[in-house]
């Protein structure tokens, strides 16, 4: 699915998630908070972004998925092809699977920050599946404040509490770091649609499981 317009309010606007984020509703036009804190830390450094990796880290075949938590085609892929790829290639250790988020909109970033809240791959992949499974529900309102509350409710079913969610959704440096990381990835790998895939560095668009498996089998040898 082509989605070239990244953010209605401009690139830096998505980063305004700093202090006070949970104390008031985002502006309905921009998604920003009044008086949002500067996203950088006091020394100007940003936290590192953890690569979310599943499967065999030493496998000779590496699959990188670029996807957005707000993309319906990504939700369909994760409900169908991904489940077979996971069972037949990831869980069996045949491939290394890397998931990288794409931020076409603010809700996609908010979902990502929640999925990365504990900063563990186990929680991330579990939360990712929940976000895709319930995508239509938490995106249904179209209202920024309601979307945040629906995301919080969903995250609590995965075991996060209000204190953890408050901390994660108020982490301005992490938001800036994630968005900067995304921009660098998208530019380097020419990502303009989701889901997109790199298989041993070669770019592929979305495809059915049989075609995906054929490519993997050929590269595995």
Q: Each residue of 155-166: pLDDT tens digit?
A: 999 999 999 999
**Whole-angstrom Cα distance, residue 165 to residue 106?**
16
What pLDDT was estimated at residue 44? 66
What pLDDT was estimated at residue 117? 95
Please answer whether residues 90 and 55 qualify as being in contact, where contact means their C-beta atoms are separated by less than 8 angstroms: yes
What pLDDT was estimated at residue 15? 38
**Whole-angstrom Cα distance, residue 39 to residue 172?**
4
What pLDDT was estimated at residue 195? 97
What pLDDT was estimated at residue 171? 87
Length of the chain counted residue by residue: 221
Q: Each residue of 53-83: pLDDT tens digit?
A: 999 999 999 999 999 999 999 999 999 999 9
Per-residue pLDDT of the chain (221 residues; tens, 9 = 90+): 433 333 433 333 333 433 333 333 444 443 433 334 444 445 667 899 999 999 999 999 999 999 999 999 999 999 999 999 999 999 999 999 999 999 999 999 999 999 999 999 999 999 999 999 999 999 999 999 899 999 999 999 999 999 999 989 888 888 889 999 999 999 999 999 999 999 999 999 999 999 999 999 999 99
How much is the pTM?
Answer: 0.83
Topology of domain 49-220, per CATH? Answer: Glutaredoxin (3.40.30)
Q: Which whole-number Å values give the CA distances from 5 to 9, 61, 87, 101, 203, in the listed order?
A: 10, 32, 34, 16, 21
Tokens of 183: 């921009």
């Amino acid at each position: 699915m082509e989605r070239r317009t990244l953010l209605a309010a401009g690139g830096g606007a998505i980063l305004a998630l700093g202090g006070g984020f949970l104390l008031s509703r985002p502006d309905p036009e921009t998604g920003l908070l009044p008086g949002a804190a500067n996203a950088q830390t006091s020394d100007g450094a940003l936290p590192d972004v953890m690569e979310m990796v599943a499967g065999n880290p030493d496998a000779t075949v590496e699959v990188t998925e670029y996807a957005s938590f707000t993309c319906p085609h990504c939700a369909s892929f994760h409900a169908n092809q991904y489940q077979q790829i996971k069972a037949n290639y990831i869980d069996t250790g045949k491939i290394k699977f890397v998931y990288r988020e794409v931020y076409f909109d603010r809700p996609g970033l908010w979902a990502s920050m929640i999925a990365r809240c504990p900063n563990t791959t186990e929680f991330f992949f579990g939360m990712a599946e929940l976000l895709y499974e319930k995508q239509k529900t938490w995106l249904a309102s179209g209202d920024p404040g309601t979307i945040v509350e629906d995301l919080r409710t969903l995250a609590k079913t995965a075991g996060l509490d209000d204190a953890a969610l408050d901390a994660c959704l108020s982490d301005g440096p992490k938001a800036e770091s994630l968005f900067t990381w995304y921009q660098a990835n998208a530019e380097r790998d020419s990502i303009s649609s989701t889901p997109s895939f790199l298989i041993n560095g070669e770019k592929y668009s979305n495809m059915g499981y049989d075609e995906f498996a054929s490519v993997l089998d050929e590269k595995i040898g």
